[in-house]
A = this chain, B = another copy of it.
Amino acid sequence: MQRYKCIISYDGSEFSGYQIQPSKRTVQLVLEDVLTKMHKGNAVKVSASGRTDAGVHAKGQVIHFDSPLSIPENKWEVALNSLLPEDLAVLSVEKTHDSFHARFDAVGKEYRYFLRLSSKRDPFQRKYAYQYPFQLNMDAIREAIPYLLGTHDFTSFCSAKTEVEDKIRTLESIEITVDDDMLIFRFIGNGFLYNMVRILVGILLEVGSGERNPSDLLEILQAKDRKCAGKTAPAQGLYLWKVFYE
C-alpha cells in the first residue's frame, strides 16, 4: 500500500458539497467512484482536509488515499483526470508517508470570498461570485477586521448545526483586494468552523453597509451566540483556496 496526497480543484456549482450523502452527487462520491473503478471494484476511501458545502468551490482542496497499484507517481494525475468529470480536476498527485492525514495534519487554510460590486447582472459570474449592488464603506470594514484577528472562541460565527465542541480558532489575517468590480476577501487561519467564513463575510457586509458598527464585533464575539451575528453570505462566492501543512 502507498499513500498519495492530491491537490484537487472543483467547481462546486453542481455538487451537493464535498461529503458523501445518500443519493447526492458529492465530490467525495465522484472521487471514490473513480478510484474504485481504477481498483477493479475494490472500494477506495478518500479523506479530505475538510468538507465544503453545496455550491462552495475549491481551488486547492487536499485529499489522501491509499492504493496498492504500481502506477508511477506522474501517471496518476493523467489517469485520474481522464476518468473524472470536467468540473472536478486533480492538480497534483504525490507519494506521501503512511501517517499523513489530509485533515489532521493540516495546520492552516486559506479561503477567499468573491464579492461582485455591481448593480448589473453578469451571466458569467452568477455561480462564481456574490453580486452585491449596494454601497460599502470600506473604511468601516477595515476598522472592523482587527477585532476578528487572533485567537477567539468563534461560537458566534459558527453554524448552530455543527457537532464540533472546541470553537476556539486563530484567524491569522483577513486581507481585502479589489480587482475591477470584484472585491476579494482572503482569510487565513489555523482552522475554520462550519460556515465561519460565510458568517464573517456576512457581518463585514453589515458593517460596510452601516447596519453595524465596527466595534460591535467585540460584543458579538463575546456573546458566543450564533444569533448575534448576521446572515450567512451565499455559497457561490466562497473558495477553499489552499491548505497548509508543516
Contacts and interface: CB of A to CB of B under 8 A. Distances in A.
Interface stretch (A36-44, A117-125, A218-226): A117-125
Nearest to A59: B124
Interface stretch (A83-91, A175-183, A187-195): A83-91
Contacts of A126: 11, 86-87
* Copy count, this protein chain: 2
A128 B87 CA distance: 12
B122 A9 contact: yes
B81 A121 contact: yes
Contact of A121 (B57, B89, B128): B89
A46 to B, nearest CB: 17
A233 B104 CA distance: 45
A72 B87 CA distance: 42
A137 to B, nearest CB: 25
Interface in A107-160: 120-124, 126, 128
A123 B11 contact: yes
A4 interface: no
Interface in A51-81: 57, 81
Nearest to A86: B126
A122 B59 CA distance: 9
Contacts of A81: 121
Contacts of A11: 123-124, 126
A121 B80 CA distance: 12
A9 B126 CA distance: 12
A185 interface: no
Nearest to A10: B123
Contacts of A124: 9, 11, 57, 128
Interface in A1-25: 9-11
A10 B124 CA distance: 8
Contacts of A122: 9, 89
5 contacts: A86-B123, A87-B126, A88-B123, A89-B122, A89-B123
